[in-house]
Amino acid sequence: MSNKTAATRGPKPTMRVMSWPAFKNRKENPFNWLLSTALCNIGVDVKEFSVQRLLFGPRADILHMHWAPTSRIRGGSRRRVKRTSFELMLLLQAARLRKMKIVWTAHDIEAHDRRSHPDLEDAYWSRIADYLDALISLSFTAIEQIRARYPALRAVPAFVTRHGHYRGVYPRDVDSVAARKKLGIDATANVFTFVGQARPYKNLPVLLRAFRELRDPSAVLIIAGMLKLDDTRKEFDELVAGDHRVRVFGGFIEEDRMQLYLEASDLVVLPYRDIFNSGSAILALSFDRPVLVPSHGSMVELAQDVGTDWVLVYDGPLTKEILSDSAMSALANKSERPSLAHLEWDLIATQTRDIYTAILSTPDR
């Protein structure tokens, strides 16, 4: 038996991936921890990104970035944006020199609330495209949006994996009645809920105005999450103060309290001005709560995956009629549970590993 034949029968080397981030942001958003854990479970060696590891640690086969490219261009002075962009380019160049393939998962395209230096941002994406071996999107619609927004990315091979669910991640040991009791909400109330960071692009004043027009005295609107409202804060405060049915729970939501806001809810409403992807929508479905969202971005595909009884979409501005009709639909599905088969992490991890394998077999760019 030749040495060559014997070598081919030995165990295959483990695929090594450096993820930016991998596990460290679990508390803020479990997405990366869930994906990295699922990849490890199928034999992929995933390590947390650090500059030291990238430059001096054992060489990884793949550098997988998530929010890293986008976060470098959010806000700040022109000088800061230029500096941080240049630093990232140096890191990507170092990864190239170490023969790593570079993948980016596009959770979003640009800063939602501030695009203060569009000329720098456009040039930035042209340079990023030169380094990428693959682009992963969380929906087919998003690929089209990305390439329309940044034509330089059309030359980068694109793949789709779904945003996985959050079932089993957060505690769930209270029912709807107990959750409402803890929050001081009547058991018979018709409860609408917004959960997640409250930022200007999430359109909370539109939700508050539509809810205010509902004449149902038993209706309740829960708003839970960090309030990062910037110049919309005054309008938000005025609308909240004008309706005693609105309950605001500001601040970071600890894991054991997340269940209270979702278990107490009949319908989760996310009236975003611009939805590219939405972890909050996935979170609502993970708690078996129907979600109302605008019919654009990846939400239409989410409705196809999970079912239109669970992902309710609307066109045009949010109105009291849409809220009322959607609430009736939500109540009709109260005893059911959505199928999240398309959002299972083992499936997504396998698809991601296959993407890694595909690009590792291609010549260096």
Inter-residue contact 82 to 120 (CB < 8 Å): yes
**What does the pLDDT average to over 228-252?**
92
Distances (CA, A) of 38 to 16, 60, 330: 14, 18, 32
Q: Do domains 12-164+344-360 and 176-340 have the same CATH topology?
A: yes
pLDDT tens digit sequence for 155-200: 999 999 999 999 999 999 999 999 999 999 999 999 999 999 998 8
Beta strand pairing call for 246-250 and 158-160: unpaired
Q: What is the pLDDT of residue 113?
A: 54
335 secondary structure, DSSP code = T
Q: Where are the domains of the chain?
A: 12-164+344-360, 176-340
Q: Which fold has domain 12-164+344-360?
A: Rossmann fold (3.40.50)
Which pTM does this prediction carry? 0.91
Inter-residue contact 245 to 213 (CB < 8 Å): no
Q: What is the pLDDT of residue 12?
A: 58
CA dist., res. 254 & res. 8, Å (int)? 50
Nearest to 247 by CA among 272, 270, 219, 268: 219
CA dist., res. 139 & res. 268, Å (int)? 21
> Taking the CA of residue 89 as centre, how many other CA atoms within 13 Å lie in the half-sphere pointing to its CB?
15
Average pLDDT, rounded, for the chain: 90
The domain covering 176-340 belongs, at the CATH homologous superfamily level, to Glycogen Phosphorylase B; (3.40.50.2000)
Q: What is the pLDDT of residue 331?
A: 82
pLDDT tens digit sequence for 270-327: 999 877 788 999 999 999 999 999 998 789 999 999 999 999 999 999 999 999 999 9
CA dist., res. 303 & res. 161, Å (int)? 16
On the question of a cis peptide bond just before residue 21, with omega within 30 degrees of 0, the verdict is: yes
- The residue that leads in pLDDT, 11 or 278, is 278
Q: What is the pLDDT of residue 35?
A: 98
Q: What is the pLDDT of residue 8?
A: 43
- Based on its alpha-carbon atoms, the radius of gyration of the chain, rounded to whole angstroms, reads 22
Q: What is the pLDDT of residue 330?
A: 85
How many other CB atoms are there within 10 angstroms of residue 325's CB atom?
14
- The torsion angles phi and psi of 16, rounded to 5 degrees, stand at -105, 125
User: Is 286 in a helix, a strand, or coil?
Assistant: helix
Inter-residue contact 146 to 109 (CB < 8 Å): yes
